[in-house]
Amino acid sequence: MPANVPQLDVQFLRDQFPVFQHPDYGAWAYMENAGGSHVPRQVADALSRALTLTKVQPYYPYGPSRDMGEAMDRATAFTAEMLNVPEGARVVFGPSTTLNMYMIAEGLRPSLKPGDEIIVTNQEHEANGGAWRRLADEVEGVRLKEWRVDGKTGRLSLDDLRALLTDKTRLLAFTHCSNVVGEMNDARAATALAHEAGGRVVIDGVAYAPHRVPDFAAIGADAYCYSAYKTFAVHQGVMAVRDDWLEGLENQGHFFNGAYPGMKLVPAGPQHGEIAAMNGLQAFYGDLYTHHFGAAPQGKANEWAGAVHDMIHAHEVVIAAPLLAFLREEPRIRLIGPQEIAFGNRAPTISFTVKGVSAGDVTNHLAAAKIGAGTGHFYAWRLMEALGIKPEDGVVRVSLVAYNTEDEVARAIAAIKAAL
């Protein structure tokens, strides 16, 4: 764990979320956060401002239009700084990660040639699998190679990746953290290996970004995508992409927009208010920083928002540990992914099956204890098959995030015991 991480004041953090003030909705413990997290008031306020005051076409030379454009520019600059997107790369917002991946894949299509190899994992949410598999199916001579998980644990190994890479590798697509297995994969090492082989790298950071701030420059990928609605903001996809790769991708937008790199992969108009709402995320992280560090944030957002997330992740480690300990010690339970949590090895996204009890039964018990959790394949269909779990049955997923508490986790353990 990084040095000098203050303890998260969970109550202060929860006070930022209107839902926890509500007599009914506030009584629930939310443990399906890998599906989507709640939104703090700062984000709701930023969206509300955009929708109620400046909802005009941006970038025209009159006041409200200028304000809207300026809010979008600020939000984009903050997001790029938070993700440590260097010179020569940019942040682009699209409707969702699934669509962003699809657009990158379509952009890549014309440059693929027979003999090219694309490597995908079977740990993926289908968003970062289907688009690449389809390319390999449809472009003659392109070969798909699968970087496979261990069928027992669901984990990926870099040695297996090494064995797949060749000088024909055009692309490696993998997840920074599976939304089921929960392990934080070594994105930097996998990227370096693919680059050594001469391939480009696309990473799905959707299940990682709610827990730690991704560092695009340090990872070194060509594109990194995640979904802001899982990271306390609104429903849209964020992608960081290197310009030298973007340049070679085919324009997916209107022909006259092809000259603008930021528009090439976003055929629809940008979601103005949703982009501007990222300013609310800056305010939320800023308030957390000031409360815990005793001064307003200064310097690069990747560092100060990163410090806020270190504090959040340290809290996640503390609250997830007892749940993991209970699950791994219970003989009827199969716990997927890393069995223990330490700072930076896994997200508190915890999936399991129970011998003799359906996943749905377990979530019913959790719901009876006023705990919201999910069950299913979570669009990681191929992973379910690799683990020998019928996708229709799926797993129970208890997915914790910053605002969950030790008491809530104790309630969840009691409810799972009752289900057994």
Q: Which residues contact ligand PLP (rule: CB under 6 A)?
A: 34, 96-98, 125, 127-128, 175, 179, 204, 206-207, 227, 237
Quote the CA–CA distance of 232 and 41 in Å, as a whole number.
10
Query: Which of residues 78 and 378 has its CB atom nearest to ligand PLP in the complex?
Result: 378
Q: Of 327, 336, 335, give the one whose Cα is nearest residue 416.
A: 327
Query: Which of residues 47 and 419 has its CB atom nearest to ligand PLP in the complex?
Result: 47
The single residue listed with the structure tokens 């693929």 is 112
Q: How far is the CB of 207 from ligand PLP (least distance, A)?
A: 4
Tell me phi and psi for residue 83, to 5 degrees: -85, 0
- Give the CA distances from residue 226 to residues 73, 233, 279, 344, 367, in Å, rounded to whole numbers and listed in that order: 19, 12, 17, 18, 28
Quote the CA–CA distance of 377 and 294 in Å, as a whole number.
43
Query: Which of residues 239 and 415 has its CB atom nearest to ligand PLP in the complex?
Result: 239
Q: How far is the CB of 280 from ligand PLP (least distance, A)?
A: 19
Distant-in-sequence, close-in-space partners of 304: CB < 8 Å, separation ≥ 6: 285, 289, 297, 298
| Residue 93, helix vs strand vs coil | strand
Q: Of 388, 275, 372, 290, give the one whose Cα is nearest residue 35.
A: 372
Q: How far is the CB of 96 from ligand PLP (least distance, A)?
A: 3
How many residues in total does the chain contain? Answer: 420
Q: How far is the CB of 94 from ligand PLP (least distance, A)?
A: 9
Query: Which of residues 37 and 279 has its CB atom nearest to ligand PLP in the complex?
Result: 37
Q: How far is the CB of 404 from ligand PLP (least distance, A)?
A: 18
Query: Which of residues 67 and 126 has its CB atom nearest to ligand PLP in the complex?
Result: 126
Q: How far is the CB of 119 from ligand PLP (least distance, A)?
A: 17
**Residue 60, Ramachandran bin (φ over 0: left; ψ between -120 and 50: alpha; else beta):** beta
For residue 320, with 0-12 CB atoms within 10 Å meaning exposed, 13-18 middle and 19 or more buried, which class applies? buried
Encoded tokens for 394: 């799926």
Query: Which of residues 68 and 402 has its CB atom nearest to ligand PLP in the complex?
Result: 402
Q: How far is the CB of 338 from ligand PLP (least distance, A)?
A: 16
Q: How far is the CB of 79 from ligand PLP (least distance, A)?
A: 15
Sheet holding 200-204, edge to edge: 89-94, 237-242, 223-227, 200-204, 169-175, 117-121, 143-147
Q: Of 410, 414, 255, give the one whose Cα is nearest residue 319.
A: 410
Query: Which of residues 39 and 311 has its CB atom nearest to ligand PLP in the complex?
Result: 39
Query: Which of residues 165 and 238 has its CB atom nearest to ligand PLP in the complex?
Result: 238
Q: For 197-300, where are the alpha helices, taking DSSP H only?
A: 216-219, 243-246, 272-276, 278-293
Query: Which of residues 204 and 310 has its CB atom nearest to ligand PLP in the complex?
Result: 204
Query: Which of residues 233 and 359 has its CB atom nearest to ligand PLP in the complex?
Result: 233
Q: How far is the CB of 148 from ligand PLP (least distance, A)?
A: 18
Encoded tokens for 104: 């990158």
CB atoms within 10 A of CB 41: 18
Q: How far is the CB of 54 from ligand PLP (least distance, A)?
A: 25
